Structure 1
């Protein structure tokens, strides 16, 4: 168990973070209170802090922590801030030797709890708790860390609670966004996110606004308020999913608090490819002729110039998914001939069967990650809860659609055609797997092994309702293993709860791809209600 160094221990009982805000944006309320919050009237203030992507799989924000600049993943699915300082000299506000571990579905981060000044856009927190990483294991994202935007039921909060008590954790263990809101009654306690798309339709830049709304989306306040379900995540009820206008029936939700006939979805900017119940994924990709499901990779491979239309309904609103967000182009190789490899282009289905352990990841049935969130402008609001005034409230989200279903298909063919023109020739997924199977025929799987791929859509022999890939099946386990080995550089592996992503080659850039797994957050602070108290915002 780590201890505060002596000069910090003297301040433990009196330390309350004071915040220096450089602008007030949103409802126009002044904010200055007994906690020392001040307004710095910058004339160049930009309400949009901004969120960026270069590959449609990782969305990042630039921050300054301890005097050093970092690019961190913006993550609505977790709470804590951690950075890999890589030997940089940080200016610390306070320091401890308390060991911290951040666990994910795949990957983990080890380090120590420290405090430093944090700057995010024009907002400054003089003493923000964070994990200064000393070990980053099995973590493939090319970012400097993660900034969580959820609720204070977290590893840092739990660690401080265990070491110094819940009262200390309530002040010292706050996340960045909690620090901004908990100390200031007049600051509107919402943040808004709109994710960009790196293609001709958009430019990869997005919106991240705190305590207000982007000028072109002020009407988000008129959208239905979707109340959070549960206590520690941004989870909400999904009314319905439609594919090509046809409703896809849901099974019963695994969440006790779910409204009848609805599923509970986690809105998570840290999850690139959304995991859905298998039947829902089948319903999407079985409508696309020539799609292939691979058991080994837990996903569909789809002809790159084919698509379908998908939409989700939340709060009675329809949110169409752009066809560009249903598949992800990447470069693979065919079996070598005479030592020469041939590059080809395939497309991976972005919506994939959920494989999360329900005992570790309770509280939701599916996660609507980036491939969904690129189609909405979302305002995350913590409600009216305040721990000092004992004001209660339920956090909620308001969203407006940003994809026009009337123009989306035409945009898909224009943009996808332009993208494919700069990549190697495409190949039919079934043919790709067949060639690898033929190359590996000497070590083909035995008949006792389970099926590995299924071809759906127009190639299915007996799939009448389009709800399962049970048509044309073959055993290709050994072939796929060979494929994975040959494409190690491509990173074509979806293992366990890891979501595989490949950086999409752009026009005018060299063709290539890498694989970037975005981990799913473990259940945080187990036993939270009894040991750590209610989350800092909201109460069900």
Structure 2
């Protein structure tokens, strides 16, 4: 979950995934075998406290993640003697709580209140320190935001699920409200020591522990059941993952502050989508993607969104839903994201969401899970949340520092495909989607949706919009036909232009004569006051610096 300004989670929550018209087979490729995971909790319903302990390792450093509606991935922590359920967030750094149980603290800065503001919601309160237990590790003094006030959004959506906080597992060099406030109160050295994140403290107190994590997000049965996941700290779980990750090239983060990485390519049904970036210093032909477990779906530029869903037969863009509406059981497209020269296929279940419109309307509708990125794109081009991350095992490497805290090796990411193969995944999609739809109202037609949700849908929302983004030679012939047609009208056009020119010259002569006769200027000149607007200076690409501090 990124800090403000960010895409609205309320809007993203409505966005779902879609299927596509023709499944264009891709060229045969070798697929990484999927690693068999321990079975999570079975049955329907959500249990947020305690989180299932089915996922565990020999030393307890692999911790299970409960999945709530494919949009929240939760874990339990013990802070100051009480247990809390928090969301795991690779998009932020701080531990932020709105505690519903007492916490035994060792320090509280009551006179200094900070506000942690995210794309959806905020929590405000003082900084406090308490003993933390997480993932088999203990941190004697962990700084956290002790929330005393909370946004209405959190009260409406998070608290009813038993979610009372966010545990940031991003880089300490990123945005940290706690670190910044302590630096204002004391100095940088004190802030670096007291204001560390949870994982920074774990790595600092266990020097022999490799400073990386592996995150896997499970997938529920198309909105039903709970597909658990896990996070392992400093080890590979299951152990065979190590061999797979050893064969994968690490991708350096674009900046040292976020889990942003260059994206090489996007293909839709075998056709490449030309990528472009609004981020200063981004490699040519690539886009900068942020990997964020705190974002339930994903947000991409409009041209990417249209390329992904525009070719689906029967799909159309809805202004009311701010998403593509797609047939729930139409043939799904082959969509792959390419990072570090490797392809990552997106499971069809992660392309569309099923929306039950009851009680307002007795209809079901399927919408795109990927939504439009609707904020300034000067730091990232794509916000890849859970809709993408469910398709990979992700290893987050936090970089190496020397004894003085200087960076000696950059943070990086490794991605391992979780796909069993596109045909296998598509069969899985059909089975789960049919089971889900069987218990829901009938699927709404386009006319029924537009009647229920009046809107003005632009013609550019038709399926053909993707043709402009996807490389193709089909436009050459139509362009030539247009030129031939215009060529036939050339004599008429030039004749009309000649007549218009004669009339304009006559009017100009009359105007000059009138001005001379009146002997004065028609209007006095006016100077325009120009106030330059200061633009935000975009950060350049990150480079290793032996003298740069890891947590600054």
* TM-score, scaled relative to structure 2: 0.70
Which of residues 346, 351, 357 is equivalent to 2:365? 346
Using the alignment, how far apart are the partners of 1:47 and 1:177 within structure 2?
Answer: 12
Using the alignment, how far apart are the partners of 2:404 and 2:423 within structure 1?
Answer: 49
Cα 1:163–1:464 change in 2 (3 A) is closer
The match for 1:497 is none
Q: After TM superposition, give the deviation of residue 157 of structure 1 in Å.
A: 0.7
Q: After TM superposition, give the deviation of residue 202 of structure 1 in Å.
A: 9.0
Using the alignment, how far apart are the partners of 2:551 and 2:57 within structure 1?
Answer: 35
Cα 1:202–1:411 change in 2 (3 A) is farther
Using the alignment, how far apart are the partners of 1:296 and 1:165 within structure 2?
Answer: 49
Would the aligned equivalents of 1:94 and 1:127 in 2 still touch at CA under 8 Å?
A: no
The match for 2:116 is 102
2:228 is the counterpart of 1:205: yes
Using the alignment, how far apart are the partners of 2:120 and 2:459 within structure 1?
Answer: 25
The match for 2:32 is none
Q: After TM superposition, give the deviation of residue 451 of structure 1 in Å.
A: 4.0
Greater Cα radius of gyration, structure 1 or 2 = 2
Correspondences of 1:47-86 after superposition (within 5 Å): 47-86=61-100
Q: After TM superposition, give the deviation of residue 51 of structure 1 in Å.
A: 1.3
Using the alignment, how far apart are the partners of 2:245 and 2:253 within structure 1?
Answer: 17
Using the alignment, how far apart are the partners of 1:401 and 1:314 within structure 2?
Answer: 11
Using the alignment, how far apart are the partners of 1:147 and 1:51 within structure 2?
Answer: 12
SS at match of 2:363: strand
The match for 1:173 is 195
Structure with higher helix content: 2
Which of residues 386, 401, 414 is equivalent to 2:417? 401
The match for 1:217 is 241
Cα 1:47–1:121 change in 2 (3 A) is closer
2:166 is the counterpart of 1:146: yes
Would the aligned equivalents of 2:273 and 2:469 in 1 still touch at CA under 8 Å?
A: no
What number of residue pairs does the alignment pair up?
411
Correspondences of 1:239-318 after superposition (within 5 Å): 239-251=264-276, 253-306=277-330, 307-318=332-343
Would the aligned equivalents of 2:88 and 2:168 in 1 still touch at CA under 8 Å?
A: yes
Using the alignment, how far apart are the partners of 2:289 and 2:115 within structure 1?
Answer: 27
Higher relative contact order (CA 8 A, sep 6+): 2
Which of residues 109, 125, 131 is equivalent to 1:117? 131
SS at match of 2:317: strand
Using the alignment, how far apart are the partners of 2:466 and 2:412 within structure 1?
Answer: 40
Correspondences of 1:114-513 after superposition (within 5 Å): 114-137=128-151, 138-139=153-154, 140-141=157-158, 142=161, 143-152=163-172, 153=174, 154-199=176-221, 204-214=227-237, 215-218=239-242, 219-251=244-276, 253-306=277-330, 307-333=332-358, 342-358=361-377, 362-386=378-402, 388=404, 390=406, 392-403=408-419, 404-428=421-445, 430-436=446-452, 451=457, 456-457=462-463, 465=467, 467=469
5+ residue gaps in structure 2? 1-55, 471-535
Q: After TM superposition, give the deviation of residue 164 of structure 1 in Å.
A: 0.9
Q: After TM superposition, give the deviation of residue 159 of structure 1 in Å.
A: 0.6
Would the aligned equivalents of 1:291 and 1:303 in 2 still touch at CA under 8 Å?
A: yes
Q: After TM superposition, give the deviation of residue 453 of structure 1 in Å.
A: 7.9
Q: After TM superposition, give the deviation of residue 287 of structure 1 in Å.
A: 1.6
Q: After TM superposition, give the deviation of residue 199 of structure 1 in Å.
A: 1.4
5+ residue gaps in structure 1? 1-41, 335-340, 469-522
* TM-score, scaled relative to structure 1: 0.71
